């Protein structure tokens, strides 16, 4: 029996899950919240998707913290699109 997904991942998989979101993804996330992403850091967990905490600067100086989840593993991204 193999380990559940996310356990015993190899270094390459961990690197993909913790990689910084693309400029396009960060611009999209900022625009969706009505601001600009000023920081992004990977969160622990996220064994089936890349999960990052974003800091979004809004008009007027307010700051919002939001979570961005991305399906970056090819075998899981295909399933997410099909749903």
Of 45, 50, 40, 41, residue with least CA distance to 15: 50
CB contact set of 13 (below 8 Å; sequence gap of 6+): 73
Q: pLDDT tens across 31-44, in order? A: 999 999 999 999 88
pLDDT, the chain, mean = 83
Q: pLDDT tens across 55-74, in order? A: 999 999 999 999 999 888 77
How far apart are the C-alpha atoms of 52 and 47, rounded to whole Å? 12
């Amino acid at each position: 029996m193999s380990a559940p997904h996310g356990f015993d991942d190899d270094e390459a998989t961990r690197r993909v899950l913790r990689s910084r979101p693309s400029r396009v993804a960060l611009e999209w996330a900022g625009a969706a919240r009505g601001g600009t992403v000023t920081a992004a850091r990977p969160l622990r967990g996220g064994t089936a998707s890349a999960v990052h905490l974003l800091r979004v600067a809004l008009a007027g100086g307010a700051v919002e913290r939001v979570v961005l989840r991305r399906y970056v593993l090819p075998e899981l991204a295909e399933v997410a699109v099909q749903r």
